[in-house]
Structure 1
Amino acid sequence: MMKPSFERIPASLSQEPIKVPGSPFWNVFKRFGRDEAIAMLVNVAGTVIMSFLTADAFILSLTGPVVEKFGFFPGHFREALGVYRTTPKAERKPVCFYFRKAVKGGTKSLLEDVLVHDPFYVALMLIGLKLYSNTPVWLMAFASFLIAVLIVAFGEVMVTELSYWDFKRRLKKKGFGFEKYYESRFLISAKENPARALKMVAEAFDLAEERGWSYTDAYFENKLAEYSGRVPRIRLRERVSGDDRIRTAQVVYTKAYEMGREKIDQYRYFPISKEKIYFMLEQEMPESVDEIKNNAARVFLKKTIETAEPRAVKFERILARSPDLLVSVDKVHGKAPFFLLELKTHRHVKLLKQAMRFVMQELPVIHTTQGKKEILFRASMTSS
């Protein structure tokens, strides 16, 4: 039997659909190791230059440790400049924003160097030289330097994870609920019939179709920290189906990763780990954070949002589910050239992978890790 033909999604939305943060440990190791290496070069260069100006041993011994501190910033300024230049003008913030971010990143590496790396380096050198006195000093110095960098990387990741755990704990004390699940997203051309795509997946995985919902989201730019690659979003959400209305304020952290790299496969799989921290709004849907009646939720959200004007996203959702898997297709209001097909599960990641493979094999989709807000912005930029 011939498969039904499908329209393909516009190629303009196929550029860089996947963004994966990578290993938190490896990211810290590369960043701090780079900063330490630059600082070492500045140390040596500064000492050599000073040697042409004075032969005083005391001054020369102090020059390196003093001037090397400036070496913790060039890498961050270079990154900030790259982000500024590659950010679309419509989303680009003032240059001082990127400057402050670079200073903050360099200061963080500097403090880690002074408080963690240097003490461990000195201790490792002393212990190593006493226990292995025949080992060349250069080799001992290199090993001590590398081990101290590893300690900084492990320490920062551990502190970050503890900070994230404490962040969630404090929100739970304020009355927020918590839900974690895994999802995968795919773009389908808006010329298609979304019910047809939903039915194909539902029949393949024995999912029962349910009533649809209408969603209204208001996304706010926020000042929340990222935790080990988890990206934060703040939104107010109302979903309606018949007489049922559910209103929530949500803090959503998402982190994309690659699944199944250890095995050779025709496809690559990029699910998203999503942690949704939500507050049930027992009131009429607020148009702004200021209208939230619960004091604890309102105060927290006002402190964390960057701009009071939200970006609205409205869409209709049809879905089918079983206890282990959910599939939905979202039709965004307006002239969006796509439908968004999502697969979700709380625990069964192997089943999720099977469903992802089916979707990529049977439907002309673009696999993406971006959210509706980001995709809609890209769509508006390409159409303008």
Structure 2
Amino acid sequence: MHTLTPQTDLATDVDDVARLLNEDGERVADPELDRWVADVDAAALQRLYRDMTLVRRIDTEGVALQRQGQLGLWAPCQGQEGVQVGTAHAFRRDDFAFPSYREIGVQYVRGAKPADFVIAWRGEEHSTYNPYDINTATPQIIIGAQSLHAVGYAMGIQRDGTDQVAAAYFGDGASSQGDVNEAMIFASSFRAPVVFVCTNNQWAISEPVTVQAKFPIAGRAPGFGIPSMRIDGNDVLASLAAMRWALDHARSGKGPAFIEAVTYRMGPHTTSDDPTRYRHKEEVERWKRRDPISRVEALLRSQNEFGDDFQADVAADADRLGGAVRAAALGAVSRQPIGVFDHVYEEPHTGLAEQREHFAAYLAGFEPEAGR
């Protein structure tokens, strides 16, 4: 059993971060970030609030569906809506995102439909959307592998001669993976147009970030020749601004950029995890007061832009979306087991046909004998 470990190292410091919105929802100045969100008015703030609220509702439904036996697993994102929604809003439509399994907010902003969030977790499909429909790769389960995919895509962009940008999302635990470090070497060496977004949510499954790093993770990037920024990941405005900076840097031919967003995973690593075995309740309560959605609500209220009608509209949208996600899971129709071979490759080949034949014979062994 893991010993409860207080977070005290510099890697967990939440004061030494760039922010535009403090814990009380008050706007604060930051010379580096302010210019990147000069166009964000009350209407834009309301859109950010709405999207974060809807993402949280998707997450709530996902957890409930898994607990009710409708999904095999779910990776909650509560507390991380700010960095996900904020960075995703900075993308241009033709940019390409490479998320991990937890970036529900990125998928939502990019255009994922209700069924896209649950069908794969239910085990019905390998992937529930065509990545090219929303320019977002299938969520990656292998820790950190998407960083290499993003760099490879970015190097393809260079050869195509366009000005798209690729972005890889990964957690603090993935920063210890060889894939992430190799991706940063390639990106720096080839000046690839890619942005690395490290969501430091303090815990890699049951291990604290202090096991991954004794100093801020953003400090690693300059060692690869990559400029970095460390931001308050619970600040959706700072997330939007930092991503606009990073995308502009990469798009203008200056090479990769790195963002460390300091946030917190409020729930378990996945629904198979029990965080009470390794986290202090006081730590969770402290982070609850830094909630990214509450901050924007407070700011909008201070501007008299959070009226009853707006609040009711967002709640109604959340109910509709939650209902659609639930209906997609409950209404899913499982394929026949042999269907696992469908759509694995674009074109059939003999090796796959042979495997299919063997599996069909195996399945036939479970069928009742004729005449009995």
Q: Same fold (TM over 0.5)?
A: no
Normalising by structure 1, we get a TM-score of 0.22
Of Structure 1 and Structure 2, the greater strand share is in 1
Give the structure, 1 or 2, with the largest relative contact order (CA under 8 Å, sep 6 or more): 2
Normalising by structure 2, we get a TM-score of 0.22
